[in-house]
Structure 1
Amino acid sequence: MGAPVVSGSVAAGRSTKDAIREAALQLFSTKGFDHSSLREVADAVGITKASLYYHYASKVDLLIAIIEPMFDELRAQVDGLDELEHTPENVRRMIRERLRSTLANRHVGALCMRDTVAIVNALGNRYPDLIELHHRTCRWLAGPGADADTLLRAAAAMQVLSTAMISPEIVPGTDTAQVEETLLDAALGVLYPAR
């Protein structure tokens, strides 16, 4: 079977770099990073492989261009926690913001979940920074002076949010607002269990 066609040629109003990233994301998501070629990406966009190399020097560079905006957004969200007072309202707001970000990037997130080894290899020395962002988020969610149980609940609540990445496979056709509300309630239920 041939590569999925994203546009056949670069559409007006959309940059070649954007078209390449979209085609690559679609291919990497359906075939996997290792089983997709730059030739297939170029064909899906309707450009030559040489033209693709003008924009991205390698398949790893292309993968980084796909995933880095999501990680930059995550970094900005986590850095913003330093200024945010730990209150139940702010916890709910932060979880909702993270959930909306995850839903908006769910195709990239699903790729990250499926091709974890390729992602870790592509990120190289940036991967520990990503792990630290996750730990900072969990510590903030747990609150000042949190005990081990609360820290574990905070980490589990974050795992609930990752379900957004695979929600199209679990509940295809479900309204995004419903997915958001269900996962928000689930994450808060894990974080603040009824006693």
Structure 2
Amino acid sequence: MPSDTKARIQAVARELFAEQGVQNTSLRQISDRLGITKPALYYHFASRDDLVRSIVQPMVQDVERFVGTRQPGDARELLDDYFDLIWRHREVIVMVVRELSTLGVLDLGTRMFEWRRQVITLLLGPELTQAQHIRATVALGGMSDCAVEYAHLPLEDVKPTAVEAAAAALGL
């Protein structure tokens, strides 16, 4: 569990990264907003990249656990749980979408495509037609887009419609 100061630094960094992008946010801006010295910030994070990694890592771990421990089963339940997962990490997804250079952190771009392939296999099995694969890409991509586009709304206003639309795209 991160220390209180570390968690506060991450929270302020997420805000600033969302407002102005990762590359346009300096560690000085983060320390100034927190009212701490830059050396105090460096005590917790060696660099901006280290800070970005610390913000992205929990999402990586959650998604890896999701795709690594799920068994094929009820597709609607899987869609429902997948939406909860992406909703929980929507701030990080917004940060990545806003500044695609963030994809370089932890080789995120490659991992995200692999995660999607694994979720599609869990949903529909390993042997898919091209049409099934395209529908699954639309379904999962659409749910991710909803988590980003409607991040400001309550979960209960977004999730039922997003999951239902994903299920419809899959023909469920």
TM-score for the superposition, normalised by structure 2: 0.90
Structure 1: where are the runs of 5+ without partners? 1-13
- Which of 35, 43, 47 matches 1:54? 43
- The alpha-carbon deviation at position 101 of structure 1 amounts to 1.7
- Which of 110, 114, 117 matches 2:94? 110
Specify the alignment match of 2:116 in structure 1: 134
Alpha-carbon contact 1:99-1:161 (below 8 Å) kept? yes
Distance 1:190 1:130 in 2: 20
Distance 1:104 1:24 in 2: 18
Letter of the 2:116 partner, please give it: H
Question: Is residue 12 of structure 2 the alignment partner of residue 23 of structure 1?
Answer: yes
How is 1:59-70 mapped onto 2 (pairs within 5 angstroms)? 59-70=48-59
Letter of the 2:125 partner, please give it: G
TM-score for the superposition, normalised by structure 1: 0.80
Q: Which has the higher helix share?
A: 2
Give the secondary-structure state (helix, strand or coil) at the position aligned to 1:154. Answer: helix
**Among the aligned pairs, what percent are the same residue?**
27
Alpha-carbon contact 2:75-2:123 (below 8 Å) kept? yes
- The alpha-carbon deviation at position 75 of structure 1 amounts to 0.6
Specify the alignment match of 2:163 in structure 1: 184
Aligned CA RMSD, in angstroms, stands at 1.7
* Residues 1:31 and 1:179: Cα distance change in structure 2 (over 3 Å): same
- The alpha-carbon deviation at position 135 of structure 1 amounts to 1.4
- The alpha-carbon deviation at position 130 of structure 1 amounts to 3.4
How many pairs align?
Answer: 169
Alpha-carbon contact 2:72-2:123 (below 8 Å) kept? no
- The alpha-carbon deviation at position 123 of structure 1 amounts to 2.2
Alpha-carbon contact 1:91-1:141 (below 8 Å) kept? yes
Query: Which range moved further: 183-192 or 132-141?
Result: 132-141
Structure 2: where are the runs of 5+ without partners? none
Distance 1:155 1:139 in 2: 11
Residues 76-130 of structure 1, C-alpha deviation per residue, up to 9 Å, x if partnerless? 100122xx233xxx2111111111121122111111111112x122224x64333
Give the secondary-structure state (helix, strand or coil) at the position aligned to 2:150. Answer: helix
- The alpha-carbon deviation at position 189 of structure 1 amounts to 0.9
Distance 2:84 2:32 in 1: 33
- The alpha-carbon deviation at position 132 of structure 1 amounts to 1.5
Specify the alignment match of 1:99 in structure 2: 83
Which of structures 1 and 2 has the larger relative contact order (alpha carbons within 8 angstroms, sep 6+)? 2
Specify the alignment match of 1:35 in structure 2: 24
Alpha-carbon contact 2:12-2:30 (below 8 Å) kept? yes
Distance 2:39 2:104 in 1: 25
- The alpha-carbon deviation at position 26 of structure 1 amounts to 0.2
